């Protein structure tokens, strides 16, 4: 059952006409509240084609964010994430240094990548679409992320948690990330298309 699925339909009679009303599942309504993303158990990653033949994967090790979930009305749910660019990690120190440089993110001048949601809606079942504004290097553009709700649980420390995972694709050139190098055989060193992935665990606040 989806996070925002309404469980049953009641029919009331008003002025001689039948009016259908939807009843919210109490278990889902109980998830309504404010959450903080647990960075230690979450990941924000990316995949990009390298030299036209293979994929390079990386992640941002430092990030923080918050969610507001509304179990009765998904449109009232929101998300906010700040990612520290200098925490980029692809497993190769030289490559990470190049990504932090002015050729790519220019982490010294633009230390954060941010996302602020503007809309949320259910696509069906446990799948939701969060639309908002992604800012990289002071360039802000709209972005939609499709997320799957993985469920909720109380951990051994008494924290109420929810989990989401999802992905989206962007063209890095839309945010001014245009560095590249031509290959002798044709094509370029780094693809314009980048896949972003999100695996989020968030803790409900008192």
Q: What is the pLDDT of residues 124-155, one digit of tens each?
A: 888 999 999 999 999 999 999 999 999 999 99
| CA pair distance 167, 170, nearest whole angstrom | 10
What is the number of other CB atoms lying within 10 angstroms of the CB of residue 199? 16
Q: Which helix (H) or strand (E) holds 100?
A: helix 93-100
| CA pair distance 125, 3, nearest whole angstrom | 8
| 186 contacts: CB under 8 Å, gap ≥ 6 | none
What is the number of other CB atoms lying within 10 angstroms of the CB of residue 178? 12
Question: What pLDDT does 203 receive?
Answer: 98
| 34 contacts: CB under 8 Å, gap ≥ 6 | 66, 67, 68, 204, 205
Question: What pLDDT does 30 receive?
Answer: 83
Q: What is the pLDDT of residues 15-68, one digit of tens each?
A: 555 444 445 567 667 899 999 999 999 999 999 999 999 999 999 999 999 999
pLDDT mean over 98-118: 98
Question: What pLDDT does 11 receive?
Answer: 41
pLDDT mean over 169-189: 95
């Amino acid at each position: 059952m989806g996070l925002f699925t309404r469980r049953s339909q009641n029919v009331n009679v008003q002025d001689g006409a039948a009016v259908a009303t939807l009843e919210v599942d109490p278990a889902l309504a109980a998830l309504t509240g404010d959450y903080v993303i647990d960075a230690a158990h979450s990941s924000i990653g990316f995949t990009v084609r390298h030299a036209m033949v293979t994929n390079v994967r990386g992640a941002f090790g430092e990030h923080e964010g918050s969610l507001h979930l509304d179990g009765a009305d998904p449109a009232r749910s929101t998300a906010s994430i700040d990612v520290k660019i200098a925490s980029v990690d692809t497993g190769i120190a030289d490559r990470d240094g190049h990504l932090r440089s002015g050729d790519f993110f220019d982490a010294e001048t633009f230390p954060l990548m941010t996302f602020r949601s503007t809309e949320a809606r259910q696509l069906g079942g446990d799948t939701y679409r969060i639309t908002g504004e992604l800012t990289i290097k002071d360039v802000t553009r709209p972005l939609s992320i499709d997320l799957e709700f993985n469920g909720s649980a109380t951990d051994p420390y008494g924290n109420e948690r929810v989990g989401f995972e999802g992905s989206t694709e962007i063209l890095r050139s839309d945010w001014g990330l245009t560095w590249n190098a031509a290959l002798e055989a044709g094509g370029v060193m780094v693809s314009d298309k980048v896949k972003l992935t999100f695996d989020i665990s968030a803790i409900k606040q008192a």
